[in-house]
Copies of this chain bind each other. A is one copy, B any other.
Amino acid sequence: MSLPHPNLDQISLPNVLSVLGDQTRLAIVGYLACNEGVAVSCGQFSDFGSKTNLSYHLAKLREAGITHTEVAGTSRLISLRRADLDSRFPGLLDSIITAAQELPALERLRDEA
């Protein structure tokens, strides 16, 4: 079973920006950016919201073309669609990720560690 992902030309700027214009989703993206190459599953975002709520936000990110979600047993492995976003909107993701590192949700997470 595989989840639906938009292809490159279906990724739209207004949609990407409005989906990223949310604290929770921005925190998720910031976290993913700090953990590229590492397998990240939904449970790791539990600081950012309830299970149900995360399911909703992660679906939004996937449907906007920002993340890729791979089904692995009972887990989902989530990653940034970095190459796709870079090719569609050069420089956008990097500038957002850099700025997002200052967000309270991510700073809190780092303080705990």
Contacts and interface: CB of A to CB of B under 8 A. Distances in A.
A8 interface: no
Interface stretch (A19-27, A47-55, A76-84): A19-27
Contact of A98 (B15, B21, B90): B90
A14 B28 CA distance: 13
* Number of copies of chain A assembled together: 2
A71 interface: no
A109 interface: no
Contacts of A88: 99
Interface of A: 13-23, 26, 88-92, 94-96, 98-100, 102-103
13 contacts: A13-B96, A14-B20, A14-B22, A14-B103, A15-B21, A17-B17, A17-B18, A17-B21, A18-B18, A88-B99, A91-B91, A92-B95, A92-B96
